[in-house]
Structure 1
């Protein structure tokens, strides 16, 4: 039977402590107190763009942090639970050291972005926000790789944990990653218009074009090459829909819609269609083409029997 790993426990504890620090900085930035000179919303109003969404849209941060908190609670719970091979956090563990290192870096990048945004250092803020999005992608990668190695085992003996990884970890991080990707594009719009001198209209068109490319590339990859890894990640499109809806409520003028308003409306319609197609594909594949076969379950059964004899 496996023993506890002090190093792994330490990494999990550090991840929780850093996250609490990150939440604290986010609360202070929203209020414009402590190390912050202004509120995050005031800075956003100062650097308004044609794709900046309505204020209500940013309430999605509450959803993000609620989801991430639930994810961390689940991760901490694995310290106190065991499987046939030992403690769950280090025996057939899905989340590796790489995952937690990226998590810690992510929160530190987030805090750095808040401070740079507050000081209106927009180019540096863009770089750090891009790092936040990138580390989100890498965490999803690590979780998918870890799940690939252990999913058949979890499916057979710890199905609830399999779905906790999918729902709390992967879908929670997908919400965070999608929103920070969109926020990065908004930050890019600010930099190219306020720092580089591009017109606000062209800057917005640039970012909307990048978003369109990202959405189409993701849709193709997730439903082909990456299907077996990301099949049950469903939260990307709802976040895009919320962001674009917030853009529409703030910037769309029905009497005289501009090119970016039409672009945004078209993107919103596309996101809704792709989300519907994605859900239908997941349901159909879940029934007709499940990820785990009898061969997989037989292999993990033999592993379990061997472990029980030790």
Structure 2
């Protein structure tokens, strides 16, 4: 095992431990036992500082799905860190040239996740636990700060994952051909299903939570804007974020987010329950929320159409490439036979 693989194994275990501690701290009973004192439930504080865009309570049940998905991500991270210990296991087969390929590959080329991913995700876990503490102690300004750090950690992890994936797959023409030299199809599936989607279900919800906390802080602590006015500002910010993300996702980030749609479902869940709770005919925030829902729905439909269209195009390109290569292979085979 190389030094790089050894450090990644240590980092992966450390990150899993921090994730488990974060889960424990998010539970009121466990947090009370850890702190040795009675604690105020998160929901009670949310009810106390209720804004006109806070979703209905059932919306927060999504945390169960987020943590389950990220628990699977952590299991996959352990697999990614320790798989190179087992020769040929990652590839799903033992080949005669495996040793040569292993020597040619650098340490990080044998892994899907990098040290920057683990450090960024660890920042998220620590910030999440601290956020729970400051929020339940009604320190609204600090809660915004630590939610911001959670966003920084998650987007840092996403950036690390995308950057390393680019180095593993090479240019657009190489694509999966280069990737499959060191990784199996299960790795490809796990990367997109567990890592990318797991990070984005978390990051999308935390991005919404940051705006909710920002609204609460400005309206109830700073009192520079009314809750109604600050809610409008937050909704407009979210509209801009959705539009910018849709553009980025379907242009220069397309190769990394090719199997990602969970982000729009999370947004629809959050904004839908917000409208359900706070609907008021003719109110400014109701109108803006409906416009936001329409934008999310439009982006989701267009996204699905683009995914299907691009999949068909790639399949057609693959077929044409095979048809062009077959005559060349036949000619090469015939030439070899003549020489013999």
| Whole-angstrom distance in 1 between the partners of 2:65 and 2:275 | 21
* SS of residue in 2 equivalent to 1:231: coil
| Whole-angstrom distance in 2 between the partners of 1:279 and 1:30 | 41
Equivalence for 1:54: 56
Report whether the alignment pairs 1:106 with 2:124.
yes
Assess, with a 3 A threshold, how the Cα gap between structure 1 residues 226 and 68 changes in structure 2: closer, same or farther: same
Report whether the alignment pairs 1:266 with 2:291.
yes
Equivalence for 2:220: 194
Q: Any conservation in 1 of the 2:90–2:184 contact (CA below 8 Å)?
A: no
* SS of residue in 2 equivalent to 1:280: helix
Equivalence for 1:220: 247
- For normalisation by structure 1, the TM-score amounts to 0.87
- For normalisation by structure 2, the TM-score amounts to 0.80
Equivalence for 2:72: 70
Unaligned runs of 5+ in 2: 84-88, 92-97, 170-175, 326-340
Q: Any conservation in 2 of the 1:175–1:235 contact (CA below 8 Å)?
A: yes
* SS of residue in 1 equivalent to 2:247: helix
Equivalence for 2:199: 173
Q: Any conservation in 2 of the 1:140–1:170 contact (CA below 8 Å)?
A: yes
Q: 1:92: Cα distance to partner?
A: 2.6
Unaligned runs of 5+ in 1: 299-310
**RMSD of aligned C-alpha atoms?**
2.6
Equivalence for 1:302: none
Q: 1:6: Cα distance to partner?
A: 2.3
Q: How does 1:195-210 map to 2 (within 5 A)?
A: 195-197=221-223, 198-210=225-237
| Whole-angstrom distance in 2 between the partners of 1:265 and 1:103 | 34
Q: Any conservation in 2 of the 1:30–1:40 contact (CA below 8 Å)?
A: no
Equivalence for 1:241: 268
Q: Deviations over 1:146-205 (max 9, x none)?
A: 111223333465122112101100111001000000000000000111122111110100
Residue 138 of structure 1: which of 139, 148, 156 is its match? Answer: 156
Q: Any conservation in 2 of the 1:43–1:118 contact (CA below 8 Å)?
A: yes
| Whole-angstrom distance in 2 between the partners of 1:249 and 1:54 | 7
| Whole-angstrom distance in 1 between the partners of 2:192 and 2:55 | 29
Equivalence for 1:230: 257
Rg comparison, structure with higher value: 2
Q: 1:3: Cα distance to partner?
A: 7.9
